[in-house]
């Protein structure tokens, strides 16, 4: 097996181990119900994390994800109050996400600024905008939102694949095609693997960078739309910290933070591992909720250390 599949294999292995462990510990755990719930409850983070995967594979980082989720929700709630149909405001917000991301990409490329700092600025900007619009939660009352949450597919074994989960899986499928069957996808891996070489090999650097962050913005805005539907409201603090959860999901999914190596599909499992840990601790009942973060943190730490050793096998071995 090629070493590039190793991180992904480990991720899927960890997911299986956690799931089987849960099944052995608790009755009713080993079911499509639990899987369906994990997919539905974490859909918005996983969607955002899919966009982040592209950014991280290209060697960048996007910290504006959580604020984007909050901002999209708040604007949608206000548009709802103004009488807009969610099916009109949602595509508009997704377009906004794409445009905002593209702008971030332009600034990163044109001014040669570290993605970390410019997306940090975007984080503050969007979160501030949330509070400019509303200080409190605003409900989304349009009947479509209710219909949306009632939609879904029942799984064999009593499980329920909610509409959020379906949107997420479709978004994932699109992302996999983009990553592996388009010239742009190859360019993302090339830029992350070795930017100077990619340039010499004729990869259009500016176009690629702009597209990467536009894609990241699109996916985090879509995550925001799903979250707004999921909670039927817009709340200015919504999504706080989700950018870090998205990064965690990407890294747990086997994408190397050094860029160039990773799989979009891994992010699904990374996000599900985080959800699985939370579910396990909830099933236990007696454990403090703090253990969710501690367990997630420990796992992340182990993965990063593992990656550190894997990176060595990808290093260029030139002498001079």
Partner 1 sequence: MAAIIELTGISKAFPGVRALDHVDFGVEPGETHALMGENGAGKSTLIKVMTGALQADGGTIRLAGKEIRPESPGAARAAGIGAVYQEVNLIPTMSVTKNLTLGRLPRKFGLIDWGAARAIARAKLARLGVDIDVERPVGSYSVAIQQLIAIARALEDDARVLVLDEPTASLDANETERLFEIVRDLKARGLGIVFISHFIDQVYRIADRITVLRNGRRVGVGTTEEIPSLKLVSLMIGRDLEHIEHQRPLMDTVASSKPILTAKGVGRRRLLEPFDLELHPGEVVGLAGLLGSGRTETAKLVFGAIRHDSGEIRIDGHHIASPTPKHSLNAGVTFCPEDRKSEGIVAELSVRENIILALQSRRGWLRLLPRREQDRLTSEMIAALNIATPDADKPVGQLSGGNQQKVLLARSLVSNPRLLILDEPTRGIDVGAHAEIVTLIRELAAKGLALLVASSELDELLAVSHRIAVLRDRRMVGEISGAEATREHIIQTIAAS
Binding site for partner 1 (CB under 8 A): 2-4, 177, 180-183, 186-187, 189-190, 192-194, 196-198, 200-203, 259-261, 313-320
Nearer to partner 1, 239 or 266 (CB): 266
Question: Nearest to residue 209, comparing CAs of 107, 68, 120, 63?
Answer: 107
Q: Which two tokens stand for residue 226?
A: 């799903």
| CA 93 to chain centroid | 17
User: Whole-number minimum distance, CB 55 to partner 1, in Å?
Assistant: 16
Q: Which two tokens stand for residue 232?
A: 């039927």
Residues 125 and 130: their CA atoms lie apart, in Å, by 9
What 3-state class would DSSP assign to 162? strand
Tokens 């996999």 label which residue? 176
Nearer to partner 1, 136 or 183 (CB): 183
User: Whole-number minimum distance, CB 121 to partner 1, in Å?
Assistant: 27
User: Whole-number minimum distance, CB 260 to partner 1, in Å?
Assistant: 3
Nearer to partner 1, 286 or 320 (CB): 320
Nearer to partner 1, 35 or 55 (CB): 55
User: Whole-number minimum distance, CB 108 to partner 1, in Å?
Assistant: 20
Residues 69 and 129: their CA atoms lie apart, in Å, by 12
Supply angle C-alpha 262, 266, 270, rounded to 5.
120
User: Whole-number minimum distance, CB 315 to partner 1, in Å?
Assistant: 6
Q: How far is CA 306 from CA 138, 255, 303, 309, in A?
A: 44, 12, 5, 5
Nearer to partner 1, 286 or 313 (CB): 313
């Amino acid at each position: 097996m090629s070493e590039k599949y190793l991180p992904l294999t480990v991720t899927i292995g960890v997911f299986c181990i956690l799931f089987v462990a849960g099944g052995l510990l608790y009755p009713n755990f080993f079911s499509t119900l639990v899987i369906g719930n994990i997919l539905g409850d974490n859909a918005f983070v996983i969607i955002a994390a899919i966009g982040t995967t592209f950014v991280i594979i290209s060697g960048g980082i996007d910290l504006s994800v959580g604020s984007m989720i909050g901002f999209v929700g708040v604007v949608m709630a206000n548009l709802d109050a103004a009488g807009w149909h969610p099916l009109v405001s949602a595509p508009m917000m997704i377009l906004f996400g794409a445009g905002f991301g593209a702008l971030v990409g332009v600034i990163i490329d044109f001014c040669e600024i570290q993605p970390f700092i410019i997306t940090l600025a975007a984080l503050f900007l969007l979160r501030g905008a949330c509070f400019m619009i509303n200080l409190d939660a605003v409900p989304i009352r349009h009947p479509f939102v209710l219909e949306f949450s009632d939609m879904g597919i029942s799984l064999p074994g009593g499980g329920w694949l909610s509409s959020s989960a379906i949107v997420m899986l479709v978004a994932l499928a699109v992302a996999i095609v983009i990553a592996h069957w388009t010239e742009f996808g190859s360019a993302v891996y090339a830029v992350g693997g070795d930017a100077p070489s990619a340039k010499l090999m004729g990869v259009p650097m500016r176009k690629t960078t702009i597209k990467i962050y536009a894609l990241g913005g699109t996916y985090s805005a879509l995550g925001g739309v799903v979250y707004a539907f999921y909670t039927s409201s817009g709340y200015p603090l919504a999504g706080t910290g989700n950018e870090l959860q998205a990064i965690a999901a990407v890294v747990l999914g086997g994408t190397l933070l050094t860029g160039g190596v990773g799989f979009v599909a891994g992010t699904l499992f990374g996000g599900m591992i985080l959800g699985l840990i939370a579910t396990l601790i909830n099933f236990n009942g007696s454990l403090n909720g703090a253990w969710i973060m501690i367990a997630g943190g420990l796992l992340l730490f182990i993965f990063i250390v593992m990656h550190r050793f894997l990176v060595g096998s990808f290093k260029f071995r030139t002498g001079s």
